[in-house]
Structure 1
Amino acid sequence: MKTITIYNTQLPVVVLRGQRVVSTETLAEGYGTEATNIRTNLSAHKHRFVEGEHYFIISGEELSALRVSNPDAQISSKVRSMAFYTERGASRMSKIVDTDEAWDFFGKLENAYFHPAQIQPKTQNEIIAAMALANVDQERRINHVENKVDEVAETIEKIKRGSIPAGWAGFSVLRVKCGMTDAKCRTLVKSYDIPTDTITIMTPEGQPRPMKIVLEADFMATFRGMMSEAEQRNTKWFHPNMGLFQVIGWEAK
């Protein structure tokens, strides 16, 4: 059996004699009062409620049938008769109870319970348009995936080739060009903030690993400038930013 949630409360959908109705207990909980107060109001304002129009009192076989067909209503087997309110009856009772909760809850009942929104079937043109939009969206997704696959394939190919962008070099190349050790090349890069980047190369074992590369022209220009300021000490050189270091074949650089 269908239920409707209003303010975190599960309401069983109860249909009597062709229309939706709510029980005394449901109204009491939603209106912020006691079930006995709802019953007292019904008795005290009997002249304002017409049975069959504002409410129903069911008992006997009709109550037994409802108990079996609508287990979500949780009607106790000890109950001999029950009152159920129509939309007009629930509205009238909310005015008598006259609390903020009652007015607010009936508004929710009116929209969500008594008059639930009906989903209108789509026309053939609307269905065709929706299918066309879905196809366009799917094609965009496929193209996006294909582009990503191409990018990944290109990246993998570059890794396999171990390609280094033009104008850049690894430290193994730079140490040969300048004659300093690998460690001193790295010190020069760090001390003078020479531009660097990281690429991925493939090891002989077939495993990818990161490799730092340096802008070669900037490195060599900085190296020559540093050497013009360095002080030679026997077979080695000294610079405040570099410490004591050795340069092989400096005269030819």
Structure 2
Amino acid sequence: MNAINLQNLPKIHYQNQVVITTELLAKCYGAKEIQIRQNHANNRPRFVEGVHFFKLEGDELRAFKQINSREQTKPTLGDSISDFLGQFGLDFEVVDYAEKHRVDNIDSVEIASKVKSLTLWTERGAARHSKILDSDTAWDMFDRLETAYFHADRQTIPDETQIIIRNLQTELLKSRKRMDKVWRLHQAGFSKAESSRMLGVGETTVRKEHSTLKACGFTALPVGTQLDVFGGE
């Protein structure tokens, strides 16, 4: 069997999550569709509908096939409603039926017109099938599906950005502690110049942070309050 290119694998969305057909799952795992169906039938108690799979029949299947035969680049009803509400400053995300059941690349997903039912497997369902098949191919392909298919839209933060974020968090924490000490020194009667020397920062910094604290509504402490100026580290 030819190797599966997960980058070109058509992504199917149903009930606001990524799912995969029996046909595609079998191809990925190097198995036959009948194996996937038989494993499901033989282990039915281990598969919960709505958790591990969805079974589409009747009107829902007809609606699914009809919706996914349309061009997906066209605005959905949900897009139109959201745009309309946006004109009045209302920020709502409206997910309509078509959007919940869309297929990103319908040309690559073949659903026979006469099919009576369609099973769509969730990530948890795909994981369960890989365990039942218990082959090196199935285990390896599920790991790849997990990253390149089910969570392909999940954006990761680059290491450099994470370092910047951590540094900013550290600086914000230091600033918060310093502002606390600036205010305590002020309440203890120290001048801004004295506070500057005691904290080891410029007087301009002390003035700015003092002004910020006043703007935030900090008021004088009650008379007799014990001040631990350099506490709270």
When normalised by structure 2's length, the TM-score is 0.47
**Which has more radius of gyration?**
1
Highest RCO, 1 vs 2 (Cα 8 Å, sep ≥ 6)? 2
> Per residue, is there more strand in 1 or in 2?
1
When normalised by structure 1's length, the TM-score is 0.43
